A and B are shown apart, each in its own frame.
Chain A
Amino acid sequence: MSDLSWVVPMPVVVPLFAAGLALALYRRPNLQRIVSVGALTIVLVASVALLVVVDDGPLVVDVGGWAAPVGIDLVADRLSALMLTISSAVTLCVLLYSLAQGNEDDEESAPISIFHPTYLVLTAGVADAFLSGDLFNIYVGFEILLAASFVLLTLGGTGERIRAGTIYVVVALLSSVLFLVALAMIYAACGTVNLAQLALRLPEIDPGVRLVLQVLLILAFAIKAAVFPLSAWLPDSYPTAPAPVTAVFAGLLTKVGVYAIIRTQTLLFPDGRLDDVLLWLALATMVVGILGAVAQDDIKRLLSFTLVSHIGYMVFGIALSTDEGWTAAIYYVAHHITVQTALFLVVGLVERAGGSTSLTKLGGLAKLTPVLAILFFVPAMNLAGIPPLSGFLGKVGLLQAGVAVGTPLAYVLVVGSVVTSLLTLYALVKAWNKAFWQTPPVERPPVRLPFGMVGPAAALVAVGLTLTLAAGPLYAYTGRAAVALTERTPYIDAVLPDGERGTGESAKLTDVASDGSHETGSDG
């Protein structure tokens, strides 16, 4: 244990505190901005610090001084620190972008006073889900970010957003209930919801029950992550929100689901009995998603479908259940968060310059705003996986991992992901040609894009390029994260140093042996 463990709760506590402050300052927009930008900067710094520190071993905080299985614990290991760093960089960029948009537009398009506290709560929820070492606390993190996302998605309450929000809210609530049911079942079977203790106890229960629990958890997370049969809600609900909101949703929210799948699959269910099912689902997600994207005419919807499609890549990597697969999947998550967010931010600028997001109405933007053309082109090619960009590296990693596994199904997936990659290229090049090269149906007056909006979008594109340049160290890092996931012991030992209890206060084990919670542990 390093003395740096006080940093671990920062990404959750700071935004929550700042959210309250921002709400209290709703009459002082300038102060609000300082508070939110300041808070998210602190989160970014804290996350980077965690990223560096936890490379030597996970950091654990037993919240309130209660020892781990009794109290709630926050755990920062390589995987969660990496997710935190990428997500806080992305949220900061999107916040800056939305600040500039708020300056340019009137209040109507993004009511600032509500936006700031909600956005901060959203980041706190995401961080909580990443850091939590307790399954019920992950649920709470999910609910925090969902409640915030409901508000952000229906910002302003226009007819279109209420329509989109309805679908989103109902589906999200359904997945929450599924998660809750899974939690109750897990508690009934194991008598605990602490991840580390679950990892110790789950192998002891009946395999059939374990499979049911696994399926329930995967179902709940797959809805959040938009894995194929459960993905139909996403392209219907995301595109109507304001550009920065769509960007942060597309980048982060589905990835929280993916993170939860990685965490539970590796830590709780390492025997991988659902791997074949997951591989098929991954294939279906990739292919169906990208075919949807090819059919779309609206660029925001097109990107939403590519988002669904590329979730398939991550599930592919997870379901391979090898070090290589997980390494590539984690790298792909990091790459995809930045690229997808950058693309949505750029599309917000496209809408500004071209007056529409419909590909039939756009045109000639390359002449109008060459900067925008570059900003769209780079992440688009990155998403499609053109060498030498990070999308290519991630996909090559996945393909190698698939070939290394060498089962017929893995080869099918390898072929499927190559086809999907080509179709992604087709869809994005189509969008590029229509939006930037075709003769515009209506001549648009030249527009000045505010630097405050171009800057953050460009910064995110640059982060995506950095992932390419720093691919060596980063890939090594995700490799180490994957090895730790396979071993499982670093995580469990960090949370429960003596195999029974974490650091902090708790009754002696002899007292607890006759306690109700322990009794239920044996009746599964």
Chain B
Amino acid sequence: MSPNLVLVVTIAVLFTVGVYLLLERSLSRVLIGVILIGNGANLLFLVAGGAAGGPPIVGVTPDGEMSDPLPQAMVLTAIVITLGMTAFLLAMAYRSWQLHRHDEVQDDVEDRRIARLAAIDELAVRDSDEEGPVPTLDEEAAEAHDETDEGHPVEEVAR
């Protein structure tokens, strides 16, 4: 028994588009991506259930021609669950819009702070390596003095 080609192609398209949308930063696009992938998975169940047949009721359809009811029951469950999750995602996207006027997935502040700390650390190390000829202590002292002293006379003159 070979699966229905149209269904398989549809599933492939749904998954491709869904994955693309999932990679977006805007929550409403992610939501559409989730819905598309979810529907792709639901269609996959239909393929898994085998060829379509008559309604699986004893007495209505002969035994060999029934379609498999179990995957359809599972698809129904999955659809209901996706509906609930979609509602929640929508509510969350709306709340995000209420708070920030956008619904984009934001970076973690603490995470960025730690990353910045790490970056500063790294820069400090690289500086000492790259500086090449190190200025003598006198030069450094002169520079330091210049900077601190410069302000004072100017200020005094100004007064």
Contact = CB atoms under 8 A, between A and B. Distances in A.
Interface of A: 136, 140, 143, 147, 150-151, 154, 157, 159, 162-167, 169-170, 173-174, 176-177, 180-181, 183-185, 187-188, 193, 235-236, 239, 295-298, 301, 511, 514-517, 519-520, 523
Contact of A150 (B44, B67, B68, B88): B88
A42 to B, nearest CB: 27
B44 A169 contact: no
Interface stretch (B30-38, B125-133, B149-157): B30-38
A520 B30 contact: no
B29 to A, nearest CB: 11
A177 B37 contact: yes
B38 A177 contact: yes
A187 B71 CA distance: 8
A515 B66 contact: yes
Q: 10 smallest A-B Cβ distances: which pairs? A: A188-B48, A516-B68, A184-B44, A180-B41, A187-B48, A520-B50, A514-B63, A184-B45, A236-B108, A184-B48
A151 B77 CA distance: 20
B1 A184 contact: no
B117 to A, nearest CB: 8
A143 B81 contact: yes
Contacts of A147: 81, 84-85, 88
- Which of A165, A169, A516 has the most CB atoms of chain B within a 10 A radius of its CB? A516
B106 interface: yes
A162 B78 CA distance: 25
A191 to B, nearest CB: 8
Interface string B93-105: 0011001100001
Contact of A163 (B41, B66, B108): B108
A167 B38 contact: no
Contacts of B49: 187, 516, 520
B89 interface: yes
Contacts of A297: 110, 113-114
Contact of B34 (A173, A236, A514): A173
B100 A159 contact: yes
Given A181-B41, A187-B48, A516-B53, A170 B22 contact: yes
Contacts of A151: 88
24 contacts: A147-B84, A150-B85, A150-B88, A151-B88, A154-B95, A159-B99, A159-B100, A162-B96, A162-B99, A167-B108, A169-B92, A180-B78, A181-B44, A183-B45, A187-B45, A235-B111, A236-B111, A295-B114, A297-B113, A515-B66, A516-B49, A516-B68, A516-B69, A519-B50
B85 to A, nearest CB: 6
A523 B1 contact: yes
B120 interface: no
A292 to B, nearest CB: 9
Tell me the interface secondary structure of chain A in the complex: helix
Contacts of B34: 170, 173-174, 177
A173 B64 CA distance: 37
B141 interface: no
Nearest to A298: B110
Contact of A295 (B45, B78, B118): B118
A71 B63 CA distance: 20
Contact of A511 (B63, B74, B84, B110): B63
Interface residues on B, range: 35 or more
B10 to A, nearest CB: 14
A517 B70 contact: yes
Contacts of A235: 111
Given A177-B34, A177-B38, A520 B96 contact: no
Interface string B44-72: 11011110010010000001101111110
Interface of B: 1, 22, 27, 30, 34, 37-38, 41, 44-45, 47-50, 53, 56, 63-64, 66-71, 74, 77-78, 81, 84-85, 88-89, 92, 95-96, 99-100, 105-106, 108, 110-111, 113-114, 118
A516 B74 contact: no
A304 to B, nearest CB: 11
A372 B68 CA distance: 59
A13 to B, nearest CB: 18
A262 B105 CA distance: 33
Contacts of A296: 114
Contact of B106 (A154, A163, A193): A163
Contacts of B85: 143, 147, 150, 169, 173, 176
Given A147-B84, A159-B100, A514 B44 contact: no
A170 B74 contact: no
Contact of A170 (B41, B56, B105, B114): B105
A13 B34 CA distance: 30
Contacts of A515: 63, 66, 68
A157 B96 CA distance: 9
B50 A523 contact: yes
Nearest to B45: A184
A514 B56 CA distance: 12
A151 B89 CA distance: 11
A15 B64 CA distance: 42
Given A147-B88, A173-B85, A174-B22, A520 B48 contact: yes
A165 B45 contact: no
A164 B108 CA distance: 8
